[in-house]
């Protein structure tokens, strides 16, 4: 999608998108479009009883003398409450309307649309960002799609008098690249995106200046990663561990470690999942996808911080060599784990990935992301990622990043009682707790692999990596959740 900024007059072709504040005077752009239409726009607005509440819109077809085939009024709500996320959602709403037409271009007419909590340039940039995010499609495997079902929109212009809009958009454009990368990874079928292929896609980040290191099974075995390797031993696909380093800060600063669960397909192993819905388990690598996309965004905008992304990549399959319930494995940390359920595999992958990240990079701040438990969806539905941490300062930083980015988090309990749930009769710990508090006991398990003095948080994103219905800035499918969150967290606290 081509995104451009201009202060030129309104075009005579394509759709015009007019944001409108509720109960506010008409903007200069609205007045210009209305006059060009011979008053047709304002008459349509009055006749329909349109109120510019957030989320409301009005489609006007071939309005009066205007040569443009469509004008879309998009409600922006109250001016004083309008912020960056509202601007993004407005951009997504406008783009969504244009995508539903057969038009090749659309323009956001923003002259006079200002106020709220943003400068004019930042407002225009955020609208453009939201519009771009909405245009994402994963259609590479569609060979017989009807012509009318495929969007024709290829250009989105933002007409604004703000001279700094393009500059403001620069970092957001790189963030969009990261979100799209994550959506691509999460959307790929598991026969295409398996551990080795995922590692190859990580290697492409070298073009952005990222140093990429890939460990194979022999190297991981030598390091003692029995926890991670046990998960993948039933697959014909070799497991991998990938590190992506961006060192844009001071050489003396220890890097922030972002660690992602990358189970490229999860059958549950010997503890086999039900057949219904198993196809969704192609996106059980959503945490690794988010970390990879975040590294692309952070490196793309040349962040002045040291960040390393570590992803453990495995395929959990139930063949004759698969890990069995009751097996005991030894992790890289030396701690032993009784595997009571092979479908609680993500935490086994993260155990070694977390330890290796701390050992290798000396990270003092560690954030892991994983589509870890169905229990978190029971608790939070598809509205929040679950945040588990004992560090109140880190919790506040992550919560603020979630609010600013739109990738919302909700802090969940993590106490000694949850740690007690994973006591084993024959090993240092078992990989599942009891029937209750499954997400918290999983977090407690991961906490066993965090070194003393390290600030750590676990983010369970099982309900957020995939969307079954369209959202304001995202179509159905992979959401890219976590990319904007991590980018904002790094920007606000380490740059």
Active site residues: 273, 347
| The two three-digit tokens of residue 411, written as one number | 């802090």
CB neighbour list of residue 87: distance below 8 Å, 6 or more residues apart: 118, 122, 123, 126, 127, 130
Chain mean position to CA 442? 22
Residues β-bridged to residue 88? none
Task: State the DSSP string of 277-331.
Answer: TGGGGGGTTHHHHHHHHHHHHHHHTT-SSEEEEEEEEEEE--STTS--TTEEEE-
Chain mean position to CA 307? 17
Residues β-bridged to residue 467? 477
First to last CA, the chain: 30
CB neighbour list of residue 144: distance below 8 Å, 6 or more residues apart: none
Collapsing DSSP to helix, strand or coil, 62 comes out as: coil
Question: Per-residue b/e over 171-190, b at no fewer than 16 CB within 10 Å?
Answer: bbbbbbbbbbbbbbbbbbeb
Question: Per-residue b/e over 263-283, b at no fewer than 16 CB within 10 Å?
Answer: bbbbbbbbbebeeeeeeebbb
The span from the CA of 164 to the CA of 144, in Å, is 43
The span from the CA of 349 to the CA of 189, in Å, is 21
The span from the CA of 234 to the CA of 323, in Å, is 7
Give, in degrees to the nearest 5, the angle at Cα 438 between 437 and 442.
Answer: 120
CA distances to 108, 172, 179, 356, 413 from 4, in Å: 10, 13, 19, 44, 46
The span from the CA of 333 to the CA of 354, in Å, is 10
The span from the CA of 299 to the CA of 249, in Å, is 12
The span from the CA of 488 to the CA of 495, in Å, is 10
Q: Which of 284, 474, 460, 289 is nearest to 384 (CA)?
A: 460
Dmax (CA) for the chain in angstroms is 82
């Amino acid at each position: 999608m081509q995104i451009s900024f201009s202060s030129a007059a309104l075009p005579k072709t394509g759709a015009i998108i007019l944001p409108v504040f509720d109960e506010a005077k008409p903007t200069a752009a609205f007045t210009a479009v209305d006059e060009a239409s011979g008053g047709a726009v304002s008459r349509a607005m009055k006749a329909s009883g349109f109120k510019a509440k957030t989320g409301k819109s009005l489609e006007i077809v071939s309005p009066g003398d205007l040569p443009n085939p469509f004008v879309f009024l998009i409600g922006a709500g109250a001016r004083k409450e309008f912020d960056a996320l509202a601007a993004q959602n407005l951009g997504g709403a406008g783009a969504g309307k244009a995508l539903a037409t057969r038009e090749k271009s659309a323009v956001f007419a923003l002259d006079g649309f200002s106020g709220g909590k943003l400068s004019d340039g930042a407002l225009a940039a955020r609208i453009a960002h939201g519009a771009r995010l909405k245009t994402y499609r994963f259609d590479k495997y569609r060979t017989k799609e009807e012509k009318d079902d495929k969007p024709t929109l290829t250009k989105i212009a933002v007409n604004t008098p703000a001279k700094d809009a393009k500059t403001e958009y620069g970092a957001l454009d790189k963030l969009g690249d990261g979100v799209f990368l994550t959506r691509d990874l999460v959307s790929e079928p598991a026969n295409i995106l398996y551990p080795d292929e995922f590692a190859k896609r990580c290697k492409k980040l070298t073009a952005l200046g990222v140093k990429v290191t890939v460990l194979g099974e022999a190297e991981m075995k030598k390091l003692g990663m029995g926890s991670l390797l046990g998960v993948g031993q039933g697959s014909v696909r070799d497991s991998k561990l990938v590190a992506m380093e961006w060192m844009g800060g001071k050489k003396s600063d220890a890097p922030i470690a972002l660690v992602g669960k990358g189970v490229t397909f999860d059958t549950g192993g010997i503890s086999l999942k039900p057949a219904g819905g198993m196809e969704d388990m192609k996106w059980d690598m959503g945490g690794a996808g988010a970390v990879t996309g975040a590294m692309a965004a952070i490196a793309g905008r040349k962040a002045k911080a040291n960040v390393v992304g570590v992803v453990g990549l495995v395929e959990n399959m139930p063949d004759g060599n698969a890990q069995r319930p009751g097996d005991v494995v030894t992790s890289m940390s030396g701690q032993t784990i009784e595997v009571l359920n092979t479908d609680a595999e993500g935490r086994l992958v993260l155990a070694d990935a977390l330890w290796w990240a701390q050992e290798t990079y000396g990270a003092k701040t560690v954030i892991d992301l994983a589509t870890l438990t169905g229990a978190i969806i029971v608790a939070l539905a598809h509205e929040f990622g679950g945040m588990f941490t004992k560090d109140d300062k880190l919790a506040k930083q992550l919560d603020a990043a979630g609010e600013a980015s739109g990738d919302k988090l909700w802090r969940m309990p993590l106490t000694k009682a949850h740690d007690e749930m994973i006591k084993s009769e024959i090993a240092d710990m078992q990989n599942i707790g009891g029937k209750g508090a499954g997400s918290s006991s999983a977090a407690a398990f991961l906490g066993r692999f965090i070194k003393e003095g390290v600030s750590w948080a676990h983010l369970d994103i099982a309900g957020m990596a995939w969307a079954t219905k369209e959202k304001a800035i995202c179509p159905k499918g992979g959401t890219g959740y976590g990319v904007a969150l991590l980018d904002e967290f790094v920007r606000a606290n380490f740059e």
